[in-house]
Amino acid sequence: MRVPMSLVLITISALVISFAEASDPSPLQDFCVAIGDLKNGVFVNGKFCKDPKQAKAEDFFYSGLNKAGNTTNRVKSNVTTVNVDQIPGLNTLGISLVRIDYAPYGQNPPHTHPRATEILVLVEGTLYVGFVSSNQDNNRLFAKVLNPGDVFVFPIGMIHFQVNIGKIPAVAFAGLSSQNAGVITIADTVFGSTPPINPDILAQAFQLDVNVVKDLEAKFKN
């Protein structure tokens, strides 16, 4: 018996839709290790929920983004995060917010958010921003100079940065598509891990003298 091609296509489509709907939920933290004994289980993927009847307005409120962050540090910038840890009501909603302050010539150094796309709007100052695509896309740089009112998007997982190229402080706000986007700052992660990565490995990977790597690891040591 020959099965009609239309029926085959319908069946394949149904399976694809079924698999898509049955996919695992996106992670909301770096990892969530399974445990056999439920009595010893502490964490869930995200946060435990309170009884909805006990929710109040304060669970959905945060005050303070009108205040500039302290940019007296080695990168001359400050990120004020408003995620599920600051607003419990964000749990399961898949969104969060940050304010970023930049001193003149300060930067938010190359980093990535493993769980979120970011959309940034510049409020004050002038920024040079960009992200680098994956190896499969030949690591192309997408960059723009932003002025107040300009918006730029950093796709999920892409290494990106912002630099204040002006002589005055800059301020930006950004929304992220996760209640806990996570952040991996490239230099801090590679050269400041605990325990440190073997300098010989990094020397070969970055084509640097091993003594240069050791110096960098000393600078970024936690």
Instruction: Please tell me whether 66 is known to bind a ligand.
Output: no
Among the listed residues 187, 185, 178, the one whose alpha carbon sits nearest the alpha carbon of residue 213: 187
B/e letters for 82-103, b = 16+ CB within 10 Å, e = fewer, are bbbeebbbbbeeeebbbbbbbb
Residues 6+ apart with CB under 8 A from 97: 65, 81, 82, 83, 173, 174, 175, 176
Tell whether residue 135 is among the known ligand binding residues. no
What are the Cα distances from residue 168, in Å, to 110, 147, 153, 159, 164? 21, 13, 23, 26, 8
Confirm or deny that 138 is annotated as ligand binding.
no
Residue 124 among known ligand-binding residues: no
DSSP H/E element including 65: none
Instruction: Check whether 118 is labelled as a binding-site residue.
Output: yes
Question: Residues annotated as binding site for Mn(2+)?
Answer: 111, 113, 118, 160
Question: Residues annotated as binding site for oxalate?
Answer: 108, 113, 118
Question: Residues annotated as binding site?
Answer: 108, 111, 113, 118, 160
